[in-house]
Amino acid sequence: MKKLMLTTAIAGLALTANAIAQTSITGEIRVTHKAVASETATGTTTTSGRGFGTEQQINFATKGKLNVGGLDYAAGFSIENDGVQTINQFNENTYVDITNASSGTTLSFSVDHIQRNDSDRSAGNIFGFAPSEFSSSGPSGSLMSATPGPGVGQSQSVAVIQDIGKFGKLAYNYAPTLTDKSTTTLTTGSGSSEAFTETNEKSAYEISFVGDLGVKGLTVDYFTSKQNQMSGVAIKAEGENIGVRYNTGALTFGVARKVWNDDSASPKVEITEKNYGIAYAVNNNVTLGLLHATAETTTAATETQKLTAIQLGYNLGPVALTVGVARNTDIGGTNGSDSDMIMTRLTGAF
């Protein structure tokens, strides 16, 4: 009898949730082709290749009202496959958000969901391929990173997001154990289901602001992140990203500055990356863009890595086409390590 009562109660809870919730399923597929030719200072071709890559993603989302305090809630997750990914296919856009609409306050338990300082969210990268994508697959490691500093937003975290009038959103995001950082860090934590594996990885936080400051056409981004110092590691990971973008009619301008380091180099090595972009909407279907980026380190005897790219975006209705051509010089700060790259991407949404 107790078992029957328990089963009935669970079923009733499920029916109640379904009755007041709105559920949606969306998705996206990307097919990308990359061709790259690289050379060293002697002019010798060291890396030359071409090939296709794919990404598929399905998003599940639901929203409704809680039965206490008139609070709103939203929850969801995504199934993502990057190429032939075999693990961590559920680590993107997983969240439970509880919102007080009257105060504009949201409490988010999430990973890869809120405004965050990773995946090249640079105000200088207006559309298309990011500097880190254009500068990869060269003869040496790129100084341009998709995650400048600790990747708090891609770790399991809890965040408070606050609307600041009509100016934008301010957020504080805290990860008890950092599980994602910049590309060359020594260690990572890991988590699974309702259990976790605690390693030497420490907690981290990120403070961010995204908004228009009440000016139509303006977007301002600011992110700062830090991780607590790990035992036996002399350096702690830190990052800062500030950017401004402005749209006026068919023209959009953007500029961004990233300063970051990770915990794998001692003494501390700091990287400064700058992105500049301009885009022109020829019509409702065609957009042209120019992207320029630089990156330099505090390490002695390194060059400033530079990237210049031209991009074309074409709206085909249910499918979007992006084509980019880029020239990289002194990749990784190494004099003469250069590359030319062409990337093409078809994106479909459903």
Question: What mean pLDDT do residues 289-311 have?
Answer: 92
Of 58-67, 72-81, 178-187, 241-250, the poorest mean pLDDT is in 178-187
User: Is residue 18 situated within a structural domain?
Assistant: no
Are 217 and 246 within 8 A, CB to CB? yes
Q: What is the mean pLDDT of residues 52-80?
A: 92
Q: What is the pLDDT of residues 173-182, one digit of tens each?
A: 998 888 754 4
Give residue 145's pLDDT band: very low, low, confident or very high (50, 70, 90).
confident
Whether residue 305 is contained in a domain is answered as yes
- At 273 the pLDDT is 94
DSSP calls for 190-222: EEETTEEE--S---EEEEEEEE-TT-TTEEEEE
DSSP string over 74-137: EEEEEEEEESS--S-TT-EEEEEEEEETTTTEEEEEEES-SS-S-TT--TT--SSS-HHHHT-S
> What single DSSP character describes residue 283?
S
Q: Evaluate whether residue 45 is within a structural domain.
A: yes
pLDDT at position 192, please? 38
pLDDT band for position 6 (cuts 50, 70, 90):
very low
Decide if 15 is inside a domain. Answer: no
CATH (domain of 137): 2.40.160.10
Tell me whether residue 61 is in a domain. yes
* Domain annotation covers residue 278: yes
So what's the pLDDT on residue 328?
93
Whether the Cβ atoms of residue 118 and residue 271 lie closer than 8 Å to each other: no
Report the C-alpha gap between 240 and 310 in whole angstroms.
Answer: 27
What confidence score (pLDDT) does residue 190 get?
38
Instruction: Give the whole-angstrom CA distance, residue 143 versus residue 62.
Output: 39
Least confident of 39-53, 116-130, 303-317: 39-53
The reported pLDDT for the residue numbered 9 is 40
Total domains, the chain: 1
Task: Give per-residue pLDDT as tens, 18-36.
Answer: 445 688 999 999 999 999 9
Of 200, 206, 207, nearest to 185 by C-alpha is 200
> Structural domain of residue 219, as residue ranges?
25-349
pLDDT in tens, 203-220: 889 999 999 999 999 999
Per-residue pLDDT tens digits for 90-125: 667 899 999 999 999 999 999 888 887 766 678 888
Sign of CA dihedral 120, 122, 128, 132: negative
Q: Is residue 264 part of a domain?
A: yes
Q: Is residue 337 domain-resident?
A: yes
pTM: 0.83
Q: What is the mean pLDDT of the chain?
A: 83
Asked if residues 134 and 343 have their Cβ atoms less than 8 Å apart, the reply is: yes
For the ranges 116-125, 158-167, 238-247, the lowest mean pLDDT is seen at: 116-125
